[in-house]
Amino acid sequence: MQKKIVVTGGPGTGKSTVINELVNRNYTCMLEISREITLNARKNGIDQLFLTKPLLFSELLLEGRVNQYIDAEQKNSEIVFFDRGIPDVHAYMNYISIDYPDTYITKSNLYRYDYIFLMAPWKEIYISDNERYENFEQSLAIHNHLERTYKELNYNIIEVPFGSINDRANFILETIK
């Protein structure tokens, strides 16, 4: 039985860096797709799709994350890591206080993960860029919405301690053994 493991947290918490470390260690990882959606929208003349059309952005993201989950099941891997999970989509919608269809919750319950690793905001490593426009305080608020969303879906959340990339990846790997 394949183990599906989510690494989540607010923006700038080191998720993608840890996922990249797991890739370097030859683990199967499903990479974050929100930047891809944002960049595709830019090519079509929409600078910040999440800010201008949040429901459209979230629908594209939900579809992409469901497809990642289905793709993961086709991989011949005992363990698959996900840079964010399906519930992250409606956690963000809750954060910006926008209503979304019940299908978001339905899909979050249909496509379940085995482990949820939550990375807390870490001021020392936080940086914003062209696709990450949130400030540190907003990252903290998003963290709280993510934690609440996964708890409401009856997940046990495992907090990843601060530390080096190596230490954080090792913590995740030791926890799932």
Cα–Cα distance, 177 to 172 (Å, whole number): 9
Q: Decide if pLDDT at 86 tops 80.
A: yes
- List C-alpha distances in Å: 150 to 20, 88, 120, 124, 158: 23, 8, 14, 26, 11
Structure tokens at 112: 């379940």
Q: Decide if pLDDT at 67 tops 80.
A: yes
Mean pLDDT of the chain, nearest integer: 89
Cα–Cα distance, 116 to 82 (Å, whole number): 10
Residue 22: Cβ-neighbour burial (10 angstroms; 0-12, 13-18, 19+): buried
User: Residue 142 in 3-state DSSP?
Assistant: helix
- CATH code of the region 3-176: 3.40.50.300
Taking the whole predicted model, whether its pTM rises above 0.85 is answered as yes
**Tens digit of each residue's pLDDT (9 = 90 or more) over 1-58:** 899 999 999 888 889 899 999 999 999 999 988 878 777 777 877 677 666 777 878 8
Structure tokens at 43: 């090519």
User: Residue 44 in 3-state DSSP?
Assistant: coil
Closest CA to 147 of 157, 136, 139: 157
Quickly state the pLDDT bin for 155 (edges 50, 70, 90).
Answer: very high
Q: Decide if pLDDT at 151 tops 90.
A: yes
Task: Enumerate the domain spans of the chain.
Answer: 3-176
